[in-house]
Chains A and B, each alone.
Chain A
Amino acid sequence: MSRTFVGMPAFPEAARAALGDTRLRHNLAHATGTIRAKRARVVEEVDGWEDLRVAGAAVKDRALHGLDEHLLTLERTLTEAGATVHWARDAAEACAVVARVAKDHDAREVVKVKSMATQEIGLEEALAAEGVAAWETDLAELIVQLGEDLPSHILVPAIHKGRAEIREIFLRRMAAAGRPAPDDLTDEPAVLAAAAREHLREKFLRARVAVSGANFAVAETGTLVVVESEGNGRMCLTLPEVLVSVVGIEKVVPTWAELDPLLRLLPRSSTGERMNPYTSSWSGVTPGDGPQEVHVVLLDNGRTRALADEVGRQALRCIRCSACLNVCPVYERVGGHAYGSVYPGPIGAILNPLLHGPGDPRDDALPYASSLCGACFEVCPVRIDIPEVLVHLRTQVVDAHRDDPVPKPEALAMRGTGWAFGDASRLGLAEKASGLAGRVLGRLGRSALPGGRRAAGRLPGPGAAWTGARDLPAPPAESFRDWWARTDGGRTEEDRLEEGRAGEGPAVRGRTEADDEPGGAR
């Protein structure tokens, strides 16, 4: 796989290919099922989880509503604490800042803490172009990097890989990146982790510049917070002399006290743990302790665009826990790559279009990559109503095409449907036509559904998308509304039934949709 999402097909086509990857589907079903169950257990045991969600959402909303002021406060507190603050409008500006800092220190390599913002801006590729190697130190990110692969999950970027594949990647690729994997490497998780630890240790000890993101940035105190499981982040944040943190502007939390609900919501929602193993926080430079030069890049890259969207702005509450990915029945089957972004799954399906705006066919396909089942909203720790935003973004996609000189077939179909639903008599005519078509389709289809009703057979054109894998009943000869009109809401039918019973003759059934079919009713 190439290390870029650029040029990948839109979701329906990418998903079709992914669905055929049996190993991917097996790995994902197992991994998401395991995390789902863990999360459910640790959420269950919290009294007042719903109150906590409401509190978490409220903190993020407060931060977003006063974002301009909180950011200026953050800039001031960070600067006072000895950090250098940089503002980046887009990916290129942010990457340029990091590259400049690395070059100022003649660094040919940097170590990286796992960070979505740096993935989003393509930092590794940008630094490589400047002759600076950026080493991932999170185990799963290392696997993805060594495998020249792409992340497929926000929290577990190598979720699509099995341990046998990981062993192979380590054996083949570690040597070129530093300390090689031992020859007797097995695919035992503990053995693989030990090999990664040996490999990474020399990088931690050698690197003079580290790059991180931040889970939270506290405006009041100028404190950045990184939440992690492996301790690699702690190494990067404490050993090198120089630290550059790329932080999305929506990561601001107004006060230290407001971290409280967020730090309780995040681990249970993401890894299914009561508490994450490592929480690091630092405020600028502490003389004689940790990095002595600290830079913070505040990144927009579409966030103010998303903030301007009244319905969509709730997506900026996201704390990147991945709970929505793990419960999503679509994500579980197609994996992360099909979404064509470092942000996959339900949150990716709204975040990418919100950050970029409508127009790109791949972004435009994402709001439709959902059955709107609502499982994501149910688990979101900051109550992002993802289905609501999905429908809102679908409307934006449709509206962007309203002035097309040649409307899409779907748009014509929706106009026709909307017109028919505008008047019951129009709908009645359409149903009569459908009833006639049903007779033809039922005859042509020849097969019967369980219960005896005729199937419509294989349909041509867009209908084939349905009947390729699913039977479809032939439309009934009589619609409900015609039945109601003909039988006075079934009253005359019931009368005849009663008469039939009284005379002990054969019951005279009312005319039903299956009357002309062998085998009786549906």
Chain B
Amino acid sequence: MRVALLVTCVNDAMFPDVGKATVRLLRRLGVDVEFPAAQTCCGQPMVNTGYLDEAVPAVRRFVEAFEGYDAVVTPSGSCAGSARHQQGLVAARAGDDALASAVERTSPLVHELSEFLVDVLGVTDVGAYFPHTVTYHPTCHSLRMLGVGDKPRRLLESVRGLRLRELPAAAECCGFGGTFAVKNADTSVAMGSDKARHVRDTGAEVLVAGDSSCLMHIGGLLSRQRAGVRTMHLAEVLAATEDRAEALR
């Protein structure tokens, strides 16, 4: 099986450690993941702001980069959702039948990380070791667009040493919402403050989620509050082992 990593533009440019952790985790599980260097972005930032024409080049690069693979794995529920549910819109807008059929071929191959691990590889115990108290925020697009259900939770529960605390009002949006975070910054921050409060109430040391962008928002609030809680991507927690615990140094 040829597996490609969709690292996502946010991880590529801002959180490369999340991409590295995903690679390390997948190799440990015997997947020789490839990184198609032609990839750029799924197109979501433009689509969700209403700029469909501007998303066309990104979607073209996307299908070119990932065509021919058996599976595409990505450490982002949001980008997986965009690839599976929005790229068709962009192709239709471009009026390009070849692009539309390419999207139809590639988009079903895209799996969010927890889906790939549980559904494709069939594992919940990935052999991770992470002796910390964590809480988990199920990001909106993982939860409601992809319907990943309890897969991330099952993965976390199998991590040795990890103590999982229940996050109150977990299913409620953190307020990131892409450009919503700056176009409606006040409302976004109000939502995020409540999320940060719930996170703090758990007493967890680490907030875990499957989307770096949501973590950047909640983590940015927690950090500004000097809350003493850090954020980590699910991939980073699952990549941690006794030998390689440096993710949380």
* Chain A residues close to B by CB (< 8 Å): 11-12, 15-16, 19, 329-330, 333-334, 367-375, 377-378, 391, 393-399, 410-411, 414-415, 417-424, 427, 430-431, 434, 449-452, 455, 462, 465-466, 468-473, 475-476, 478-481, 483-485, 489-490, 509, 512-513, 519-522
Contact = CB atoms under 8 A, between A and B. Distances in A.
Given A371-B178, A427-B40, A520-B249, 6 more contacts: A395-B52, A421-B40, A431-B13, A466-B181, A490-B24, A509-B246
Contacts of A333: 187, 190-191
B85 to A, nearest CB: 9
Contact of A372 (B55, B60, B178, B219): B178
B144 A375 contact: yes
Contacts of B179: 368
Contact of B183 (A368, A485, A521): A368
B192 interface: yes
Given A398-B49, A489-B23, A16 B219 contact: no
Contacts of A417: 45-46, 54
Contact of A481 (B37, B54, B86, B171): B37
Nearest to B53: A418
Interface string B145-167: 10000000000000000000000
A12 B184 CA distance: 6
B45 A368 contact: no
A449 B219 contact: yes
A451 to B, nearest CB: 5
14 contacts: A11-B184, A334-B190, A373-B144, A378-B144, A424-B61, A427-B12, A449-B223, A450-B223, A466-B182, A469-B224, A473-B216, A481-B12, A521-B249, A522-B236
A421 B184 CA distance: 25
Interface residues of B, number: 82
B182 to A, nearest CB: 4
B84 interface: no
B57 A418 contact: yes
A470 B189 contact: yes
Nearest to B222: A450
**5 pairs of A and B residues whose beta carbons are closest in the complex:** A371-B177, A422-B57, A470-B220, A394-B50, A418-B54
A480 B11 contact: yes
Given A373-B173, A417-B45, A480-B7, A422 B247 contact: no
B38 interface: yes
B192 A373 contact: no
Nearest to A15: B187
Contacts of A512: 16-17, 20
A485 B37 contact: yes
A521 B187 contact: no
A121 to B, nearest CB: 29
A472 to B, nearest CB: 6
Nearest to A509: B246
Contacts of B181: 465-466
Contacts of B20: 480, 483, 490, 512
Contacts of A521: 17, 246-247, 249
A466 B178 CA distance: 11
A421 B57 contact: yes
Contacts of B136: none
A455 B179 CA distance: 21
A15 B50 CA distance: 21
Contact of B177 (A372, A451, A466, A520): A372
A202 B198 CA distance: 50
B12 A450 contact: no
Interface of B: 7, 9, 11-17, 19-20, 23-24, 34-35, 37-41, 43, 45-58, 60-61, 65, 86, 89, 140-141, 144-145, 171-173, 175-192, 216-217, 219-224, 228-231, 236, 246-249
Contacts of A374: 140-141, 144-145
A282 to B, nearest CB: 41
B113 to A, nearest CB: 15
A484 B219 CA distance: 26
B191 A330 contact: yes
A480 B16 contact: yes
Contacts of A480: 7, 11-13, 16, 19-20, 35
Contacts of A372: 48, 140, 177-178, 180
A396 B19 CA distance: 35
A472 B38 CA distance: 28
Contacts of A396: 50
Contacts of A513: 16-17
Nearest to B20: A490
Q: Name, among A368, A372, A395, A490, the residue most crowded by chain B CB atoms within 10 Å (CB to CB).
A: A372
A475 B186 contact: no
A476 B14 contact: yes
A505 to B, nearest CB: 16
B185 A468 contact: yes
A415 B54 contact: yes
Most buried by B among A393, A465, A466, A522: A522
Given A371-B140, A414-B51, A427 B180 contact: no
Contact of B12 (A334, A472, A479, A519): A479
A483 B35 CA distance: 11
A112 B132 CA distance: 61
A161 to B, nearest CB: 21
Contact of B223 (A368, A373, A455, A509): A455
Contacts of A375: 140, 144, 171-173
Contact of A476 (B16, B38, B60, B229): B16
B220 to A, nearest CB: 3
